[in-house]
Amino acid sequence: MVDRKRRERTIIVWLIVVALFVATLGVFPIVRSGNVAAVSWALLVVATALFYARFERRSVPAREMALLAALAAIAAVGRIPFAALPSVQPTTFVVVTAGIAFGAEAGFVVGAAAAVVSNLFLGQGFWTPWQMFAWGLAGATAGWLRRTGLFTGRFGMAAFGFAWGFLFGWLMNLYVAAEMWDVGGPKGLVALAAASFWFDLAHAATNAVLLGLFGRGWVRTLDRIGRKYKIVSD
């Protein structure tokens, strides 16, 4: 059973990697013909659907759903007061700790839901599915790596959060670059990464500080809640 779950996770990871590779570099003829946005959107939907399909396949108790909904609400509400400070918000912190405490599926669901809920106040748009995927993937990767020992110390948590500050920005840059691929192409993606550097750095620094200072304590609290209500992590 464990081996089967590992195989499924590996397949999902590789599908995501291939999807992002194709969307970024445009190796298919349809992409070269100028339909990068359409292809990237299709791959984004497929990758996101895979996570939700895995989550829906197992029986999720009502108490687990309530806890994940509460975490998503905290992540979403935490973003709103900091809207005036670009890239400075605790959303990634909550999403990552949810993934560490309860696993990849829970981390993805919390991240994706946080994006949708917070954008009800900050504004929905074509960027919302990309934010769902980016925050969801941050929570999922935290869940995948939680057994590796990376998060046993403050430095590992801070480093992971710092890295995801930039990865989140690059994924959002991919959305913009795909929409304007005919104009900028791969060079446009590089230009966007350069233009967003300081915003991504602010996000990365915020993640590093929050996870480094409060990450382990938050995860211990979530672990206690999980044990109390017998929530089984993946």
Q: What is the pLDDT of residue 27?
A: 46
Helices 154-179, 128-145: inter-axial angle, 10-degree rounding: 150
Q: Give me the CATH topology for the region 61-228.
A: Arp2/3 complex 21 kDa subunit ARPC3 (1.10.1760)
The answer, yes or no, to whether residue 62 has pLDDT greater than 70, is: yes
Distance CA 220, CA 138 (A): 19
pLDDT, the chain, mean: 80
Higher pLDDT, 21 or 65: 65
Give the ranges where the chain is alpha helix by DSSP (H): 2-25, 29-32, 36-57, 62-79, 91-102, 104-122, 128-145, 154-179, 181-195, 197-210, 216-228
> How much is the pLDDT for 33?
44
What six digits make up the tokens of 6?
């590992």
pTM: 0.80
* pLDDT level of residue 198 (50, 70, 90 thresholds): very high
In which band, very low, low, confident or very high, does the pLDDT at 53 lie, cut at 50, 70 and 90?
low
Q: Are 105 and 51 in contact (CB under 8 A)?
A: yes
How do residues 165-186 score in pLDDT, each as one tens digit?
999 999 888 878 777 766 666 7
